[in-house]
Structure 1
Amino acid sequence: MKFSPPLEQGTLLRRYKRFLADIKTADGHELTIHCPNTGAMTGCAEPSDTVWYSTSDNPKRKYAHTWEFTQTQSGATICVNTGRANQLVGEALHKGAISSLASYQTIRAEQKYGEGSRIDFLLSDASDGAPDAYIEVKSVTLNEAGQGYFPDAVSARGQKHLTELATVRSQGYRAILIYAVLHSEIQNVAPAVHIDGRYAALFEDAKQQGVEVIELFFTLSPHEISNPRTNLKKNT
C-alpha cells in the first residue's frame, strides 16, 4: 500500500478525546489531526514522539489530516491507524501473498455471520477444493521487548470473535485469525493474558478446536507499507 503523497512529519504534543491529537508540524505550526485508533495505544502516543500523518483532499472532512504512524523516541515505527490492517490483509489476499490461502478464487469483505457480526473476509471457490475460509483480522501494536500482544485493553468484541470463529470451525469451514503486526520491533504475537485473561483463554480454546492463527508482518515507511511476511502458528 503506497501513500500518495508521502506522509508528512510532526511532533506529538497530546492525544485527547480518543479521536484527536495536537502536533507541531515540521515548520513549527500547531495542527489538530484525526486519531483513527480508539484503543489504549500503549507505547504509541508519548509526547515528543514523531508523528507521520496523511492528508485528505475531501473538503467535507472537519480534520483533513490523519495520524498514520508513530516513530517512538527509541526508534520503533508503529502504524496506529487500525483501519490499515484490513486494507493490508485484503491486498495480501488478492495478490496471493499468503501461501496457505492462495488457492481461493473469490474474496469477499464484510460478510454477515455469527450473532450480528461481520467477518472481515470470506474466501471461497478454492482451486484445491478447500472449504470456505472465514478470516478475522486484528491489528497488533502492543510491544514488550519484542513480544507483541493482543489486545491492548479488555476486548469483549475480540472475545466474541474468537467464539464465533470456533463455531464456524465446528461447522466444517476453515476459521482463521490473522494478526496484522504493525510495529517494527515485534517479533511474534501472543494473547495478552495479563490484560484480558478471558480473551487469552478463548484463544487457547479456539486453537484447540482448529482455528488457524497467522501472524502477518509488514515493513513500514512514509512512502508505503509493504513486504508482508507470514508466520503460521501451529495448533498444539
Structure 2
Amino acid sequence: MKLPAPLIEGRLIRRYKRFLADVVLPDGSEVVAHCPNTGSMLGCQPAEARVWLSASDNPRRKLKYTWELVETAPEEVACINTSRPNSQARYAIAQGVVDELEGYGTCRAEVRYGAEKSRIDLHLSDHKSLADAWVEVKNVTLCEDGLGYFPDAVTTRGQKHLRELMAQARAGERAVLLFVVNHTGITSVRPADHIDAAYGRLLREAEAAGVELLAYRADLSGPEGPDGDISLVESVPVILQA
C-alpha cells in the first residue's frame, strides 16, 4: 500500500492548533501543512524532526501539503496520518497478511452496531466456517524504549469501543481489536497504564471476555529512507502483563 507519490521531505518547525504544522522544505521555503491527527502525538513531533509530506493538486484544497511521516529518532519513522490505519488494515486483510482474518469473502467499513450506537471500522462476513468478525482498528505510534503503548492520551471513545467489542464476543461473534503499529521502532504493544489506567483495565477485561487482540507493524522505510510504502508486514505481540 503506497502513499501518494512523491513524498516531499522537510524539517518540522512546529505543530499548532492541532491541524496545522509549519515545515521548512529543502529549498529553504516554509509551508503550512495539514496535520491529519487530532491526538496528542506524544513522541511524534520532536523539534526540527525530518518529516515527509504528500502534495495535492486539488485547487479546492486550502492546504496543498499533508503531513504523513516523521522521523522520531535516528532510523525510526512513524506515520502520524490517522486516516491511514483503516485502509492499511483493510488492504492487509485482503492481501492475506493478517493470518487470523483470512477467508472472509466480504469486508464492509463503518457498519453501525452496538448498544452505544458505534460504527465498527471493519465488518468481515461470508466465511465458510467462522462467525462474522467485528474489527476495531487502533493506530499505535507511541514508542518508549522499543515498546509500543496505546493510547497516547486518555480515551473515553476507546473505552466505549472495548465495551461494544465485549458485547459482540458475548453474543457469539468474533470481536477483534487490531493495533496498526505505525512506528518502525516498536517491537510489541501494551496498554499505556501510565496514561489511561481505565483503558488498560478494560482492555484486560475485554481479552478475558473473548476479544481477540492483534497487532501488525507497518513497513515505513525503504532502503534509502521512507518511500511511501505503508503496508503491514508482520505481527508483533500484544503484552498485557503490567
Instruction: Give the TM-score normalised by structure 1.
Output: 0.96
Instruction: Specify the code of the residue in structure 1 equivalent to 2:234.
Output: R
Instruction: Answer 1 or 2: which has greater strand percent.
Output: 1
The answer to whether the aligner puts 1:229 opposite 2:230 as a matched pair is no
- 1:18-67 deviations in whole A, cap 9, x for unaligned? 00000100110010000001111111111100110001122111011100
- Residue 227 of structure 1, CA deviation: 4.7
Aligned equivalent of 2:122 = 121
Residues 1:91 and 2:91 are matched in the alignment:
yes
Question: 1:184-195 counterparts in 2 under 5 A?
Answer: 184-195=184-195
Q: Which amino acid aligns with 1:43?
A: G
What does 1:3-18 align with in structure 2 at a 5 Å threshold? 3-18=3-18
The code of the aligned residue for 2:118 comes to S
> Take 1:234 and 1:49, find their aligned partners in 2: how far apart are those partners?
30
Contact 1:52–1:222, Cα closer than 8 Å, also in 2: no
RMSD of equivalent CA atoms: 1.5
Letter in 2 for 1:139: N
- Structure 2 CA distance for partners of 1:81 and 1:46, relative to 1, 3 Å: same
Alignment map for 1:140-159 (pairs within 5 Å): 140-159=140-159
| Structure 1 partner of 2:223 | none
**Letter matched to residue 180 of structure 1:** V
Identify the residue that residue 177 of structure 1 maps to in structure 2.
177
Q: Report the alpha carbon displacement of residue 169 of structure 1 after superposing the two structures with TM.
A: 0.4
How much does 1:226 deviate? 2.6
SS of the residue corresponding to residue 231 of structure 2 reads strand
CA gap 1:150/1:19 in 2 versus in 1, 3 angstroms = same
Q: Which amino acid aligns with 1:208?
A: A
Q: How does the TM-score come out when normalised to structure 2?
A: 0.93
Q: What is the distance in 1 between the residues matched to 2:59 and 2:118? A: 32
SS class of match (2:51): strand
Separation (CA, whole Å) in 1 of partners of 2:2 and 2:121: 22
Task: Give deviations 1:84-124, integer Å, cap 9, x for gaps.
Answer: 11110010111222111111111111100112210000001
Q: Name the residue aligned to 1:28.
A: 28
Q: What letter is aligned with 2:24?
A: K
Please state whether the residue corresponding to 2:163 is helix, strand or coil.
helix
Q: Give, in whole Å, the separation in 1 of the partners of 2:159 and 2:149.
A: 15
User: How many residues of Structure 1 are paired with residues of Structure 2 in the alignment?
Assistant: 235
Identity over the aligned pairs, expressed in percent? 47
Q: Distance in 1 between matches of 2:185 and 2:40?
A: 18
* Residue 62, structure 1, aligned to residue 62, structure 2: yes
After superposition, the Cα gap between the structure-2 partners of 1:227 and 1:152, relative to the gap in structure 1 and judged at 3 Å, is: closer
1:194/1:233 CA distance change after superposition, 3 Å: closer
Q: Contact conserved, 1:212 with 1:233, CA < 8 A, in 2?
A: no
SS in 2 for 1:53: strand
Find out whether 1:53 has 2:58 as its counterpart.
no
Change in Cα spacing, 1:36 to 1:149, as seen in structure 2 (3 Å) is: same
Question: Which moved further from structure 2: 22-31 or 220-229?
Answer: 220-229
Q: Distance in 1 between matches of 2:161 and 2:130?
A: 22
Q: What CA distance in whole angstroms lies between the structure 2 residues aligned with 1:4 and 1:61?
A: 16
Shift of 1:136: 0.2
- Measure the CA separation in 2 of the matches of 1:227 and 1:180: 8
Partner Cα distance (1:111, 1:151) in 2: 23
Gaps of 5+ in 1: none
- SS for the counterpart of 1:70 is strand
In structure 1, the residue matched to 2:76 is 76
